[in-house]
Structure 1
Amino acid sequence: MTFRTDITRRDAMMLGGGLLMTLALPGHAQTAPVAPAGGVAPAFPGRAHGIRLGAFEVTTLLGGASMSDDPIATFGLNADPAEFESLSAENFIPADRSGGSYTLTLVRTPDALVLFDAGMVPANNAASLAQAGVQPQDVTHVVLTHMHGDHVGGLMDGGSPAFPNAQLILPRPENDYWAANPSEAYTAKVVPLLDKAQQIEGTEEILPGIKAEPAPGHTPGHTTYLLESQGQRLLITGDSFNHYVYSVQRPAWHVRFDVDKDQGAATRQAVLARLAEEKIPFIGYHMPFPAVGFIAPNGKGSYRFVPATYQFD
C-alpha cells in the first residue's frame, strides 16, 4: 500500500492560513474556517497518514483543528498555576492557549473497513477519506469510543447517515448514560441510528483482531480498542488523555470534560502506564496529527509522548 502523507504547498497554506472560530459542542469545541474580510473561507483539503500493522492498514484522518484560551481551565483544574506555567515553559508551549486536532482512525482488515469515531464535520471527513482513496460509502463499520459531540457530529450529513453502508458499533454503557442525559449531539446524530446499531457490553472482540476495552471516566462508557494482527498491537485510546503534554506528563490533573474527574484521572494513569510498560504504539484522538506515537516513562507518575517517525516503514 502507498501511504498518502503529503499535501501540496498550496493546501498547507490553505489549511494553516485560515482563521478558526470556536463553536460550542457538548463536551468539546468544534472549529470551522472563517472567511477573511471580503473573501471566501478555503475548503478543508483533508489529510491522511497511513501505517501497516501486520495485515491491517491503519490510516489516521484529520477531521479538524482548534485553538483555545486558558488551557489550565481545561487540562489542569486541580493544578498549581505556577507548576502549570513551568510545565508549559519546559515543553516550549504557551500557558495561555492550546491547540488541538481531531483525528479519526480508519482500519482496513482483510474483511472490513472500520472507522473509529466520526469527527464533527462530514465534509472534512470526506476530504480526508479521499486523501486515503476512500469514500464514505466504502466504510463497513463505524465504531465509537464515546459520544461527545466531536466524536459523533459526523455521523449524520443533513438528515441522512454520512456512512450509509456502515454498521454502527457503540458501547451500551455509553448509550445508557446519554439516553438518560441527552445532549444535542446525541439526539441529532446518534439517536436516528440506534435502531440498527450494535451495542457492545464490555471487553469483547467486536471484529477479528479488534478488541473493546472499557476505559471509563472521561464518560461512563468511554472505550479503547486494541488492534492485533500478526503479533503486532496498537491501542486506539480515544480521549483517555487529551493533551500531549498536560494530560500525559501530569495525568493526575483533572480535565474539565471528564464526567467523573477522579475516575478519569485513574483511567488515564492506568492507560499511560500500560502503554509505557508494554511499549504498545497508540493513536490518540487529540494528539498532534498524525496522532500516532508511543508513551515513555518520565519520572514517578509522569510520562511523555513520543511521536512515531519511521517505526512502521
Structure 2
Amino acid sequence: MLFPRRALLGAGGGLAAATLLPSLSEAAAPFRNDLPPAWYRFRIGQFEATVVSDGRLPLGQPAPAFPASPPQEIADLMRSNFLPVNEANLEQNALIVNTGRQLVLFDTGMGESMGAASQMFGPTTGRLLRNMRAAGIEPSQIDMVILTHAHCDHCWALVDAQGNRNFPNAQVAVTEADLRFWTDPANKRGPEFMTAFIDGATKNLNAYRDRLVMVRDGQEVVPGIQAMAAPGHTVGHTIYAVTSGNQTVVNTGDLAHHQVLLLQRPLWEFSFDTDPKQSAQTRSRALERFATDRTQILSYHFPWPGLGHVVKAGEGYTWLPSPMEVTSLG
C-alpha cells in the first residue's frame, strides 16, 4: 500500500505537535562502547554445538587482499551488496562441539601469545577465551583442539603470552603437512608476514608436541567428525564434516574468506593463500558440491555466527545465513 507523501508529512507533523520531547540534557546518557559476549548455541543431531567469537578481524582496504582482481570490480561488488567500499571486515567464528563424550574446539583465534604481533589486525581480536567462559565452557574442559590450518588467527591462542598451554587437557589435531611447513624456519620467505606466521605457529604448536594428533584426509578425528583435505590456502588446509544422526554441518575453515568477493567470484585469488591458484580451484569445487547437496556450512570468517548455505548464482554463489534460534542466543 502506498501512502501519499502529504499524508505522511501531515501525520508526522501532528505527532511532533502532540509529543513533548525531552531536552537534550534530560535525555543524555553515556554511550556504551563495549560489546556483549558473543556466543551462539545450536544442535547438530544429538551433538551440542556452540559458536564462539574471537572478535572482528579487519583487513582494511579490500583490494590488496585480492591483488589479481580488478579494483573497480571489487568496489562494485562491495557497493552492490551494501558493504563499505574501502573496508573489508571478517569475523572469527570458532566452533565448539560437544559430542556427549568429548568436547572439541575448532581453531583458537589470535590470542596473545605473540605480544604486539598478536594485534597485527588490530585490537578487536583475541576474545575467544573470555567468550568461551561466558558461554559456560572452561578451556580446561576441551579434550581436542582441531586446527583447520596453522595460520595466526587459527592457532595463536593455543598458548598464552608466557607460553603456557591455554587448553591444558587437550590434544591438538593438525595435518602433518601444515605442522612441517609452519614450523620450518626455511619458509620465512616471500611476504613479510611469513616470519611472524612461522614464529607464532612454532611457539604454539611446540607447546603441544607430546599431544599432537596427525590428521589424514577422510579420517574420523573423533567419532562424528571427519577430515576432508582442502589444500591451497595452506598446504594442509582441512575442512571437517560434523555429523550426528541425519544432520551434517561442514566447518569450512578458510575455504572462502569473504561472503561476497570469494563467493560471487570463487576463482579470485587471496593474498594470504600459500598457493592461490590451488586454493581457488579447491574453493570452486567445494562450493559447487555444497550448493548441489544443500549442505549447511559453518564459515570461520563469514558474518556472525557464520552458519548458513551457499546457492548457485550465475557463475558464482550467494550466501544465505541460517536463521538464528532465539532460544539459543547467548
TM-score (norm 2): 0.79
Q: Which has the larger radius of gyration?
A: 2
Letter in 1 for 2:171: Q
The unaligned stretches of length 5 or more in structure 2 are 1-29, 113-125, 189-197
Name which of structure 1's ranges 173-182 and 272-281 shifts more when overlaid on structure 2: 173-182
**Using a 3 Å threshold, how does the CA distance of structure 1 residues 63 and 12 change in structure 2: closer, same or farther?**
farther
Instruction: Please identify which structure carries the higher strand content.
Output: 1
What is the alpha-carbon distance in structure 2 between the residues aligned to residue 260 and residue 73 of structure 1? 16
**Structure-to-structure mapping, 1:173-212, within 5 angstroms:** 173-180=177-184, 181=187, 183-212=198-227
Q: Partner residue of 1:305?
A: 319
2:285 is paired with a residue whose SS is helix
The corresponding residue for 2:116 is none
2:76 equivalent in structure 1 = 86
SS of structure 1 residue aligned to 2:91: strand
Give the match for residue 58 of structure 1.
49
Partner residue of 2:157 out of 113, 129, 154: 154
Structure-1 separation of matches of 2:266 and 2:58: 21
Aligned residues: 273
* 1:173–1:201 Cα contact (<8 Å) kept: no
Asked if structure 2 preserves the Cα contact closer than 8 Å seen for 1:46 and 1:125, the reply is no
Confirm or deny: 8 A CA contact 2:170 2:211 kept in the other structure: no
The aligned amino acid for 1:14 is D
Matches of 2:174 and 2:60, distance apart in 1: 32
Q: CA deviation at 1:94?
A: 2.1
- Note closer, same or farther for the CA distance 1:263–1:308 as it changes in structure 2 (3 Å cut): same
* Alpha carbons 1:129, 1:135 under 8 Å: kept: yes
Partner of 2:19: none
TM-score, normalised relative to structure 1: 0.83
Residues 162-213 of structure 1, C-alpha deviation per residue, up to 9 Å, x if partnerless?
0001111111111122233361111211122122211123221111110000
Distance verdict in 2 for CA 1:310–1:201, change over 3 Å: closer
Cα distance in 1 between the residues matched to 2:275 and 2:31: 40
Question: What displacement does 1:312 show?
Answer: 10
SS of the residue 1:84 aligns to? helix
Within a 5 Å distance, the mapping from 1:65-144 to structure 2 comes to 65-74=56-65, 76-121=66-111, 124-144=127-147
CA RMSD, Structure 1 to Structure 2 (Å): 1.9
8 Å CA contact 2:67–2:271 kept in 1: the answer is yes
Shifted more, 88-97 versus 228-237: the winner is 88-97
Whether the aligned pair in 1 keeps the contact of 2:216 and 2:227 (CA below 8 Å) is no
1:36-62 CA distances to partner (integer Å, 9 max, x unpaired)? xxxxxxxxx531101101011111100
Q: Percent of aligned pairs with the same residue? A: 33
Structure 1 stretches of 4+ with a deviation exceeding 6 A read none
Structure number with higher helix proportion: 2
Q: Which runs of no fewer than 5 residues in structure 1 stay unpaired?
A: 1-9, 16-44
